Amino acid sequence: MRLNSRKNGAKAEGHLSEASERRIGRRSVLGGLLAGAAATLGAAAPARAEKSARELFSMADLRGSSNANELGLRPGAVDDQSKLLQSILDKAASQNKPVFLPPGDYKVSNILLPSNTKLIGVPGSSRLVYSGNGHFLMGENAEHIEITGIVADGQNRGFNPYAEALVRLVNIEHAVMDNCRFLGSSGTGIRLDRSAGRIERCSISGAAGECAIMAYENEGLIIVNNEVSDCANGGILVHRWQQAPDGTIVSGNRVSRIGAANGGTGEWGNGINVFRCGDVIITGNHVSDCAFTAIRSNAGSNVQISSNTCLNSGETAIYSEFEFNGAVINSNVIDGGARGISITNFMQGGRMAVCSGNLIRNIRTTAPYEDDEHPFGEGISAEADTVVTGNVIESASRYGLMLGWGPYLRDVVATSNIIRGSDIGVYVSVVEGVGPVRISGNTISGAKGGAIIGHRWQEKTTGDLANGGDGGNARMMISDNLVS
C-alpha cells in the first residue's frame, strides 16, 4: 500500500509538473504581450497626458454634475451667453447639483447666483468674462453659494453703482470661494456683506476702484491663503458700520503693492484693514509695499495681530488705533516704514494692549504726507494700559520707543526691550497729568541723542533720565537699563 501510494504520488507529481509547465508557458506568452502593450502605451503616454488628466478630474470630482457644454454653453463664443448660463445655474440649484464649467472663455453679465449654487471649473482655465452692462456675479439671501476653480475677469468694464464688485454676495448663510482668480475689476474684487463662510486660495489682482476683498458686517468669516496684489486703494478690508464682535480670521495671505489712489492720511492704502470689528485674528500674513499700513486695526477690540511679516510700508507698519479696547501684537517682523507699531489714540478711548516679541528695523522719518505736529520715525509707540516687552528695535531713526503724547500716558510698562541705533532710545512724555510709567531692564545702544529723554510733545525738556530723575512725574520709575 505504501508502494502504491508512492507510485500514485509520483504520477500526481508528474501531472502537476506538466500542468505547471503549461501555466508557465502561458504566463511567458502573456507577459510578452503585456510588455509589448506597455511599451506601446508608454510611447503614446505623453500625447494622452492632458486628456487623461481631464478625464480623471471629470471622473473624480464632477460625477453627478451638470456639464455646461453639454447643456449648450460654448467656450470661446463671441456672443453673450448670460441667459443660458443663468438657466443652467437655476435648474442645477433646484436639483441640488453642481455645474461644471469646462475650460474656455464665456462672456456673461448680470448673473444672479441662486441659493444652493455650486459652480465648479478647472482652475486657471474656466473663465467667465464680464460683457458689461449692470453687474457680473451677484447672490442674495441664499443658504449656500460656492464658486470653485473659476477665473472671473472683469475686463476693467464699469459696473452699475449697486454692484461694486466682480462678485457681490449679501446675506449668505455659507459662502465659499476657493481656488479662483478675480482680475480686472473696475471696483472691488469680492464684496461679502452680512454673511459667513470662507474665501480661500484665491488670487485677486488689479482692483482699479477700491480693494481686493471688502467684508462688511460678517460673522465668523475666514479669509485664508489668498494672493492679493496691485489694487488701487486697499487689500483685505474687514469692516462694520458699528462696533461689534465679528470674529473674522485673516491668515496666511500674501498681500502686495497696495496703492492709495483716493489719497488721505490712512483711510486708504492699507494691506489688511480692520474697522470697528471685534475679536478678529490676523496671523501669518506676508504684507509688502503698501502705500500706508501693512496691518491697520481702527476701533477693533480684542484683536490679535501675530506672526506677520510687514515689509516696506509707506507709513505705519502695524496700527491699533482709535476707540479700541484690547489688542495683542506679537511676534511680527517689520522691515521698513515711517513708524513700526503704533498703539495710540488714548484721547479717543484707545487702550489696553500687549506688544511683545516683535522685530522692527529700518524705520525712517519720511511718510506719504506732511505732518508737522506728529513725528515719524519711531519703532513702537504706546499710550495707555500697555505692556511693551521683549521687542528688538534696530535703526528706528528718531525714537526706539515713544511712550505717551502730551497728557496721554497712563499705566505703561516698557521692559526687556533691545533698542539699537535710534537717535533717542526712549521718548517719554512728562506733560502735566500723565500717569504711571515704568521703564526698566531695557538695553539701549548707540542712542546719540540720549537713552531716555522726557518730552513735552516734540520738545525735549529733560536730560538723560537713564542717569537719574523722573522729569517731574513722581509716578515714573526708571531702573536697571543698560546703556552703551
Give the model confidence (pLDDT) of 396-451 as tens digits.
999 999 999 999 999 999 999 999 999 999 999 999 999 999 999 999 999 999 99
Domain 62-195 sits in CATH 2.60.40.10: no
Angle CA 74–172–231, to nearest 5: 70
Q: Distance (Å, rounded) from C-alpha 75 to C-alpha 88?
A: 15
- What's the sign of the alpha-carbon dihedral 375, 266, 379, 410? positive
- What's the sign of the alpha-carbon dihedral 112, 114, 115, 121? negative
Q: Is the pLDDT of residue 395 over 90?
A: yes
Average model confidence (pLDDT) for the chain? 90
**Which set of grid coordinates corresponds to residue 396?**
528706528
pLDDT band, residue 63 (cuts 50/70/90): low
Instruction: Tell which residue, 417, 351, 360, 357, has the closest CA to residue 386.
Output: 351
Q: Distance (Å, rounded) from C-alpha 375 to C-alpha 471?
A: 21
| Helix (H), strand (E) at residue 147 | strand 137-148
pLDDT of residue 411: 98
Contact at 8 Å (CB) between 132 and 80? no
Surface-to-core class of residue 309, CB atoms within 10 Å of its CB (0-12 exposed, 13-18 middle, 19+ buried)? middle
Contact at 8 Å (CB) between 180 and 154? no
* Residue 160 DSSP one-character state: P
pLDDT in tens, 127-150: 999 999 899 999 999 999 999 999
Q: Distance (Å, rounded) from C-alpha 355 to C-alpha 480?
A: 20
Q: Distance (Å, rounded) from C-alpha 121 to C-alpha 149?
A: 5
Which amino acid makes up residue 383? E
pLDDT band, residue 41 (cuts 50/70/90): very low
Sequence-distant (6+) residues with CB within 8 A of 255 are 212, 228, 229, 235, 236, 271, 272, 285, 286, 287, 288, 290, 294
